[in-house]
A and B are shown apart, each in its own frame.
Chain A
Amino acid sequence: AQSVAQPEDQVNVAEGNPLTVKCTYSVSGNPYLFWYVQYPNRGLQFLLKYITGDNLVKGSYGFEAEFNKSQTSFHLKKPSALVSDSALYFCAVRSLLTGKLSFGAGTTVTVRA
């Protein structure tokens, strides 16, 4: 079975500081990894994905993620956080067979002004 884990329930940073949201994965074979963001009372919005290729993936809103095979990690990063980045972030892994996404538990990011 494939899964992802988000070890932190909450991440708090000051505006302008770097933001990192951690994710580790457990899959057999090559992983297809995703990050989604959920703003309050909204649906899930796609941020970025890793399928193959460069380990550093760039996505929406200035976010990027680094795929690290040796550490089985796919951490989400933003060099300079904004208050508007405050949201719930989900890491997910995709089944190659069905396309089903399996989500991590989510990390609540709070960026203070």
Chain B
Amino acid sequence: EPEVTQTPSHQVTQMGQEVILRCVPISNHLYFYWYRQILGQKVEFLVSFYNNEISEKSEIFDDQFSVERPDGSNFTLKIRSTKLEDSAMYFCASRAQGSGANVLTFGAGSRLTVL
């Protein structure tokens, strides 16, 4: 079964450092998402991406965050200058287009720890 792949599985970084989280969505999917989950808490929407542009973003997704689809397969989330409160599990998701396309398929997540 096709799956969404995320790397790294766990990253530890110092506050103020830049972090890039990578995702390889399912190959025929056209819509891409990033979510985050602070430990033991709710899954929060960050951003959705379609046709090479952001279609929606939450208030969490401020100027420190950016997304990119650099090569047609990868979908990245960059945090420019990490803060302690960015420590969370980050999930990438993708979905196809069309009538059967309502299901978002999630990756296993990238755990980010900011020290």
Interface size class of A (residues with CB under 8 A): 20 to 34
A102 within 8 A of B: yes
Give the residues in chain B near A36, CB-CB below 8 Å.
Answer: 106
Q: A44-B91, A106-B43 are in contact. Are A99 and B105 (CB under 8 A)?
A: no
Given contacts A46-B105, A49-B102, A51-B102, contact A100 B42 (CB under 8 A): no
Residue interface bits B51-65, CB-to-A below 8 A is 1, else 0: 000011000000000
Residues on A with beta carbons closer than 8 Å to the beta carbon of B44: 103
Question: Which applies to chain B's interface (DSSP): helix, strand, loop or mixed?
Answer: strand
Q: B108 near A: Cβ within 8 Å?
A: yes
Which A residues lie within 8 Å of B103 (CB)? 34, 46, 49
**Residue from B44, B56, B95, B106 having most chain A Cβ neighbours under 10 A:** B106
Q: B115 at interface (Cβ–Cβ under 8 A)?
A: no
Q: How far is the CB of B108 from chain A (nearest CB, A)?
A: 4
Residue from the set A45, A99, A101, A104 with the largest chain B CB neighbour count within 10 Å: A99
**Counting CB contacts under 8 A, is A71 at the interface?**
no
User: Which A residues fall within an 8 A CB radius of B?
Assistant: 32, 34, 36, 42-46, 49, 51, 90, 94-95, 98-106
Q: What are 13 pairs between A and B in contact, CB < 8 Å? A: A32-B102, A43-B4, A43-B106, A43-B109, A44-B93, A49-B102, A90-B43, A94-B102, A99-B95, A100-B48, A101-B45, A102-B45, A103-B42
